[in-house]
Structure 1
Amino acid sequence: MRSFFFLICCWFCTINVWAQSEGPNRQYVLQSTHNAVQYKNYYLLTLLQQDQAVKKLVQNDPVMSDLFKAREAKITDALKSCQNNTACFTAAFKFSKDEISAVCGRLSFLFKENNALGAMVKSQVIPSGCYNMYSNLKPVDMLLKAWEQDAKAINFAIGVYVEGSKPNYPKIDSIGFNVKDKSYPELVTTNALLSLNTKNKLFFEPSMQFALVALEINERNDAADYEPMMSTVNKSSLLAIKKTNFGTYKYSLILVPGEGPEEHDTELSAGGMLRCRLAVEQYQNGVAPFIMVSGGRVHPYKTKYSEAHEMKKFLIQRLQIPESAIIMEPHARHTTTNMRNAARIMFRYGIPMDKKALTVTVKSQSMYISDVMPKRCIKELGYEPYRMGNRLSDTMLEFYPNVMSLQIDYDEPMDP
């Protein structure tokens, strides 16, 4: 009898360990759409669109159908009555607390571990890592948190890029229109009209389309820059990664955080050039097989130049570094996401996550990364995207990437 109970206990322990081991999968491929801004910001909603069995389940549900019809009716009414009142229009598109709660209730009802929705959570949502902060929850609760996050993300984008609310970094990320201009309401009205596209049948689609078009007309589709990077700007380095024996190097890569210029006609700042040269010194010493350049189209406001792209050009054309040794990360808008996005790429591209990496930059930023950034990351992201190793000099700092970095950031639509 004792041996029987012992075997039962072992079985439960095995099941428990297996359940706890579920999480982000390095072999998982994100389900992309033609619009990278969409799937990078609203990944659950993208899955609901793309998984035909789940889409049918949601579309055919009478409560979800009623929610869609109610949204459609609100938009139709807004087109008739809002006139030049932007806030009136956005109220028809934003998800209220009651609406978010109603969808949670219905998703909870529809979810079964052995149906299409349950299978999607297990095979797509969990291994994607996009909602990694909720990985300790039951699958159904993770689903609900993912929905709440995507709804908040849509509301945030509408708030900033339609209503003109302040983003987290107003100097670089604010709306591109004067919301008090007499012609502005016509743009909002036209966007609202387009959201009634007959293809939109899911409860969230009109609001998501409204938010995406708002980003587009604001010229804020930065999240899509250079995507799909695996088959474009990082194609040669990804092929090299697959052939690299990382065990022969002290570090997995050298990360170079960017610095944007302040003048619109300047492609690469002096600081960016110097950081590249600092990194090349270490690369030529053979400490790591790759240099990752990180930085988006940030400074000055609405610049057309990408820090990472310009640094890559400088490394190739001026410093004679082969393209296959350079990994581009062209989306980060500040130092917190330089580190976070580096960790994301390392995970997705198969670079060892348990091996030290090296960040090389000017003294002031390097000290900022070690002394200030951890607390700032917890405040802004909810976690630390890296763990520090040793400081080697004023300009060099070791770090370990954190897989929690796969978590989507709902209030940064240009770099979620």
Structure 2
Amino acid sequence: MLFCFFNIQAQTKMHYDANFKASQSNNIVQDKNFYLFTAIQNDPKVTELLEVNPVFKSLLKSKNEEIENSLKHCKDNSACLVKAYSISEDNIAKIGVELENSLKKSSAFKRLVTENLRPSGKYENFKELSDEKYLSACWRLCAAGMNRILSVYGLGESPQYRTMDSISYDVSTDYYRGALWMWSDMLHHKKPTKNKLFFQPSLDFSLSLLYMNHRDEAARYEPLELMENQKPRTEINSINFKDYDYPAILILGNGPENYRDTLSALGKLNLQLGALEFQQKKAPFIIVSGGHAHPFRTPFAEAVQMKKELIQRYHIPEERIIIDPYARHTTTNLRNATRLMLAYNIPIDRPSLVVTNSMHSQYTGANSFAERCLEELGYLPAVIKKRLNSTILEFQPKIESLHQNPFDPLDP
């Protein structure tokens, strides 16, 4: 379950800015999961203050000593080795308090929050928090996200969706234990680091675990707006959305359960239902949503295959099809579609359509689905409005969809 941090008493004026240029590292998976760390690494003043802070220096020293000790004594014990990189609840809390204190004392930390983190929208669900509480909430989310990656992709614990998102190796084998130890040894002794930030060892090992497990799904199609979505991104500039009943038609995926088929029977039905709405000019754009989800570690992104089918079978122009090749669940179908609409300046001030087969549509429109969104994401990515028929619902996108979720590192 995703941890949520709310404080309705503290209000702030600095919120998401659609024109803000987000910080970037050389690792897209990091940027998508742990934007806080990328923002810090891109800020020389904040980095310097963190490096000289005695609390953070002490924590980094202890962490490095713990890792060194694990390399000496835990070569055949994966749990012992991985545990050295995890961050205890006590230290998570201690770091949160120190970050709050740092912001109170330093304008650099204040600017990090007000001029980078808030405008980025990456932690939009924390927007009502005071700057101090906002910064510590961002930290706690990232720390818990790293611990989750360590547990799932380091120790083989079951993720929320075991059949899709599990570790790629048998953790009981000598091969895997040896790989963990050698990766840890390389990161600790051989990889050069530009800074001495307290979170760096845990971050580096977490990202390495995703890489080791071939779990780069979150980065495979970036930059989307310059690749698969380049044509519709350009086409949007020529569209008068007031000429249409709805800004967009979101078609949900339904992945196949074998490695032979690229689309399932119901997935094809969803496409026909959505194509019918587009052909009636209900909206200027179709958004197809589905990542590398079914079956386990499938080489096919469902949205890519859906786009091909819409072009080849229904002759829908490529410039009218937007793809989301990341979503793994219905919750993130709606969330990711909202993110794309915000990024591409498609109006979200009125409902769009979500189209899928009748069974899936009944589920999407049920109260239990909204409850699932709140449990897994911590917010509603959209509000389901009117039902038009058994396969079509109106949905109202919500800006909270921008909020990162490192608990689902394959599509955060």
TM-score (norm 1): 0.92
CA contact (8 A) 2:154 2:209 kept: yes
Consecutive unaligned residues in structure 1, runs of 5 or more: 1-18
**Per the alignment, in what secondary structure is the counterpart of residue 162 of structure 1?**
helix
2:143 alignment counterpart: 151
Q: Which amino acid aligns with 2:288?
A: V
1:106 alignment counterpart: 98
Which of residues 259, 281, 287 in structure 2 aligns to 1:286? 281
Moved more, 269-278 or 330-339: 269-278
Moved more, 176-185 or 285-294: 176-185
2:354 alignment counterpart: 359
1:21–1:63 Cα change, 3 Å: closer
2:394 alignment counterpart: 398
1:200-215 equivalence runs, <5 A = 201-215=196-210
CA contact (8 A) 2:12 2:129 kept: no
C-alpha distance in structure 2 between counterparts of 1:240 and 1:29, whole Å: 22
CA contact (8 A) 2:301 2:325 kept: yes
1:170-189 equivalence runs, <5 A = 170-189=162-181
C-alpha distance in structure 1 between counterparts of 2:12 and 2:328, whole Å: 34
CA contact (8 A) 2:291 2:327 kept: yes
Q: Which amino acid aligns with 1:54?
A: V
Q: Which amino acid aligns with 2:409?
A: P
C-alpha distance in structure 1 between counterparts of 2:232 and 2:12, whole Å: 33
Which of residues 55, 64, 68 in structure 1 aligns to 2:56? 64
CA contact (8 A) 1:113 1:119 kept: no
1:334-353 equivalence runs, <5 A = 334-353=329-348
Q: Which amino acid aligns with 2:114?
A: K
**Per the alignment, in what secondary structure is the counterpart of residue 195 of structure 1?**
helix
C-alpha distance in structure 2 between counterparts of 1:375 and 1:77, whole Å: 44
**Per the alignment, in what secondary structure is the counterpart of residue 142 of structure 2?**
helix
C-alpha distance in structure 2 between counterparts of 1:401 and 1:273, whole Å: 25
Moved more, 86-95 or 340-349: 340-349
**Per the alignment, in what secondary structure is the counterpart of residue 395 of structure 2?**
strand
Aligned: 1:307 with 2:299: no
- Provide, for residues 115-172 of structure 1, a one-character-per-residue CA deviation record: whole Å limited to 9, x for no partner: 2111010011111222122211101110001001000000000100010111001111
CA contact (8 A) 1:195 1:207 kept: no
Aligned: 1:382 with 2:374: no
C-alpha distance in structure 2 between counterparts of 1:312 and 1:36, whole Å: 24
1:113–1:332 Cα change, 3 Å: farther
Q: Which amino acid aligns with 2:392?
A: M
CA contact (8 A) 2:385 2:395 kept: yes
C-alpha distance in structure 1 between counterparts of 2:359 and 2:105, whole Å: 51
Consecutive unaligned residues in structure 2, runs of 5 or more: 1-10
Aligned: 1:34 with 2:26: yes
1:262 alignment counterpart: 257
1:4 alignment counterpart: none
2:6 alignment counterpart: none
Aligned: 1:127 with 2:81: no
**Per the alignment, in what secondary structure is the counterpart of residue 180 of structure 1?**
coil
Moved more, 122-131 or 286-295: 122-131
**Per the alignment, in what secondary structure is the counterpart of residue 353 of structure 1?**
coil
1:114–1:62 Cα change, 3 Å: closer
Q: Which amino acid aligns with 1:139?
A: D
C-alpha distance in structure 1 between counterparts of 2:279 and 2:106, whole Å: 54
1:217 alignment counterpart: 212
Deviation of residue 106 (structure 1)?
2.1
Deviation of residue 113 (structure 1)?
7.6
1:198 alignment counterpart: 192
C-alpha distance in structure 1 between counterparts of 2:398 and 2:105, whole Å: 29
Aligned: 1:80 with 2:76: no
Moved more, 307-316 or 262-271: 262-271
- Provide, for residues 321-341 of structure 1, a one-character-per-residue CA deviation record: whole Å limited to 9, x for no partner: 111111111111111111111
CA contact (8 A) 2:12 2:127 kept: no
Large movers: runs of 4+ above 6 Å = none
**Per the alignment, in what secondary structure is the counterpart of residue 386 of structure 2?**
strand
C-alpha distance in structure 2 between counterparts of 1:237 and 1:206, whole Å: 40
Deviation of residue 351 (structure 1)?
1.2
**Per the alignment, in what secondary structure is the counterpart of residue 318 of structure 1?**
helix
**Per the alignment, in what secondary structure is the counterpart of residue 390 of structure 1?**
strand
C-alpha distance in structure 2 between counterparts of 1:243 and 1:31, whole Å: 29
Q: Which amino acid aligns with 1:385?
A: P
- Count of residues paired in the alignment: 398
Identity of matched residues, %:
38
1:226 alignment counterpart: 221
